[in-house]
Amino acid sequence: MELSWIHTFITAAQCGNFRKTAELLYISQPSVTVHIKLLEKELGVKLFLRDGKKVKLTEEGLRYLEHANKLIDLYQHGLEDLQSFSQGYTHKLSLAISPLIADTIFPYVLKTYLQKNPTVEISVQILESKDIESAVLNDEVDMGLSCLNSVHPDLVTELLYKDKVILVVPHDGKDSESAPPLDEEDFLTTTMILTHNHPDYWDGLCRKIRNKYPKSRMMKVSQVHISKRFISEGLGVSFLPVSTVRRELLEGSLLEVPVYSFELPEASTYAIMKYKHSIQQEFLTFLSGYRI
C-alpha cells in the first residue's frame, strides 16, 4: 500500500468527484481511478459508488476514511519530528496559556527559557482558562498555565504563585506630589467598574463592592488588555492582577488606588499537567524563578 493511494482516497472523499480530485492533486483523472482501484484491491472492499459524474463513499469507505486520516496524520507528524530533530531540537513542549497570563511578562520568560534551552521546541496555544483543563486531559498540549485550579483526578496541578489584585484607574494628568490623594469611594461610586476580566475572583468581589457601594455601576469586559485600554481612555476603572499592569504603573499611564473598605482577593496561576515528565518538571523549575 502506498501513501499516495490513501491521499487520493481522502481527497476524493472530500470532493466527491474524481476530476476535481485530479485537479487538486495535479495528476491525471485515470491516475485517480488507478489509485482507488489499487487501494480497493489491497483492502478487499469497494470504497466508492458512482452517481453520474459524482462519487460517494460506500459504508466501508466511510468507515475506512477515519483510519486513512489517522495514517496521513501519523506520517505527517513523523516528518515534522524528523525535521525538528535535524534542526537541533531534541525535546518538544506544547503549552496552553490563558490570554491573561500571556499579557504579563510571560513572553520575556519564554524568550529567556528558549535562549537557555535551544534544543527544546515549544509550541503555544492561547486558550481561555476554562478550556485549558480539557486540552491537557485530551493530550492536545503537554502543560497548561491557567488562572483556574483543576481538581480532576487524572491531572497534576501546581500553584505557581499568587498575585496581588489592585484597583487600577486612569492617570488624572496631575503631578503626584501636588495632587490630592486618590479616593477609593470617589472612583467606585462615580465611575464605571469594568468586571469579569479574570475568570476566578470577580463574582465574590462584585458582592463586596455592591455591599459597600450599592449604587456602583458595573460593565463586564472579558479581556484584560481591553480593560486596560478602556481605563486609559477614561471609560472606567477595574481590579486587576498587579502583574498585568506592572508596565503601565511604571510608565504612569495607569494609577493604583489603595482600597481600605474591604479585603481584595488574590489571583492565582496554576500549572496543569497530565504527566510530570522531565521536560515539564524542568520548565516548572525555570518558571519558579519568575513572577509571571
Residues 229, 103: one domain?
no
pLDDT of residue 33: 92
Q: Cell digits for 122?
A: 515549544
Are residues 131 and 216 located together in one domain of the fold?
no
Which pLDDT does position 258 carry in this prediction? 95
Band (pLDDT 50/70/90 cuts) for residue 85 is low
Q: Cell numbers 472612583 label which residue?
A: 187
Report pLDDT digits (tens) over 202-226. 999 999 999 999 999 999 998 999 9
Q: Which residue has the higher pLDDT, 79 or 64?
A: 64
CATH of the domain at 251: 3.40.190.290
**237-258 b/e (C-beta count within 10 Å ≥ 16 → b):** bbbbbbbbbeebeeeeebbbbe
Q: Is residue 184 part of a domain?
A: yes
Give mean pLDDT, residues 271-279: 90
In the numeric block, which cell numbers belong to residue 231? 481605563
Which pLDDT value is given to residue 103?
81
Query: Mean pLDDT over residues 250-271, rounded?
Result: 94
Q: Which three cell numbers mark 184?
A: 477609593
Q: Are residues 48 and 143 in the same domain?
A: no
Same domain, yes or no: 51 and 130: no
Q: Are residues 182 and 245 in the same domain?
A: yes
d(CA 103, CA 98): 9
The average confidence (pLDDT) of the chain is: 89
> For the segment 111-160, what is each residue's pLDDT rounded down to a tens digit?
999 888 888 888 999 999 999 999 999 999 999 999 999 989 999 999 99
pLDDT at 90 (0 to 100): 60
Question: What percentage of the chain has pLDDT greater than the value 70?
Answer: 93
Q: In this structure, is residue 125 part of a structural domain?
A: yes
**Same-domain check for residues 181 and 154:** no
The CATH number that applies at residue 66 is 1.10.10.10
Question: Does a structural domain hold residue 292?
Answer: no
The count of other CB atoms within 10 Å of the CB of residue 155 is 15
C-alpha cell at 284: 516548572
Distances (CA, A) of 67 to 39, 42, 49, 70, 226: 13, 15, 19, 5, 44
Range ranked top by mean pLDDT from 26-30, 107-111, 236-240:
236-240
275 in the same domain as 149: yes
**Pair (109, 242) in one structural domain:** no
pLDDT score of 195 more than 60: yes
**71 within domain boundaries:** yes
Looking at 43-185, which runs of residues are DSSP E strands? 48-51, 54-57, 91-97, 120-126, 143-146, 156-170
Note whether 141 and 197 are same-domain residues: no
Average pLDDT score over residue span 63-82: 83
Mean pLDDT of 70-96: 75
Range of the domain at 57: 3-86
Question: At which of 41, 56, 86 does a domain end?
Answer: 86
- Total domain count for the chain? 3
With cut-offs at 50, 70 and 90, classify the pLDDT of residue 26. very high
DSSP helix/strand/coil, 200:
coil
Burial environment of residue 98 by CB neighbours within 10 A (0 to 12, 13 to 18, 19 or more): buried
Give me the CATH number covering residue 110: 3.40.190.10
Any domain includes 32: yes
Q: Tell me whether residue 114 is in a domain.
A: yes
Residues 157 and 180 in one domain: no
Q: Are 198 and 104 in contact (CB under 8 A)?
A: no
Residue 213 has phi, psi (to 5 degrees) of -130, 80
Least confident of 21-35, 75-89, 143-157: 75-89
Judge whether 154 lies within some domain.
yes
Strand bridging mode 266-273 / 156-170: antiparallel
Whether residues 70 and 22 share a domain: the answer is yes
- Shared-domain flag, residues 99 and 140: yes
